[in-house]
A = this chain, B = another copy of it.
């Protein structure tokens, strides 16, 4: 199973570093494949996150529930993205975020218990994870800049380009939550964009 499912992960990693056949085998022997159902949680706020997950198929949302019970969506993850609460994973302390599946979702999971063994067996994975975490950090910084510099309409246009495949796959109120606007305002923006086309 993992051999068959793991090819997408190997292809992804090979964009960053070249694994030998033996290294690829070691890697696939350490990670696990799992399928979650729509609605299930991969991480729950307050639990310790035990996995970093590569998404093979499906879609997840990462969100925070504040003390008033309000949901704040900080990220969606689709095919070839990663999903986790990385702060909780690194420090093995309770998670700030929930990660929930918006569709049936297939993952390859890197457990906290094996990650150090993996780095030791395949040192070039340090480089790989350095590079993808750099990208994630830059994306997070750019999102801060967009919140300062772009109108809600331009943030929505950016969202469309960044996640071209998911706009039809998830409820509109979640897109509104991610953009920090109301559902009604999102609807108004979409009407304007249709009119402008």
Interface residues of A (CB under 8 A from B): 64, 66-67, 70, 72, 74, 86-87, 90-91, 96-97, 119, 123, 126-127, 129-130, 133-138, 140-142, 144-145, 148-149
The answer to whether B144 touches A74 (Cβ under 8 A) is yes
- A142: chain B residues at CB < 8 Å are 87, 96
Given A86-B141, A97-B141, A126-B127, 20 more pairs with CB closer than 8 A: A67-B149, A72-B148, A74-B144, A86-B137, A86-B138, A87-B138, A90-B134, A91-B138, A96-B141, A96-B142, A96-B145, A97-B145, A119-B127, A123-B126, A127-B130, A130-B130, A130-B133, A137-B140, A140-B141, A140-B144
- Which residues on the B side are within 8 Å of A87 (C-beta)? 138, 141-142
Which residues of B sit under 8 angstroms from A119, Cβ to Cβ? 127
Looking at chain A's contact residues, the main secondary structure is: helix
Partner of A64, one of B126, B135, B145: B145
A52 to B: closest C-beta gap in Å:
11
Question: In the complex, A136→B144 CA distance in Å?
Answer: 14
Q: A138 — nearest CB in chain B belongs to which residue?
A: B87
Minimal beta-carbon separation of A87 from chain B (angstroms)? 4
Contact of A140 with B140 in the complex, beta carbons under 8 Å: yes
A86→B140 CA distance, assembly (Å):
11
CA distance A149 to B63 in the complex (A): 12
Distance, CA A20 to CA B11, complexed state (A): 35
Which of B67, B137, B148 sits near A66, CB closer than 8 Å?
A: B148
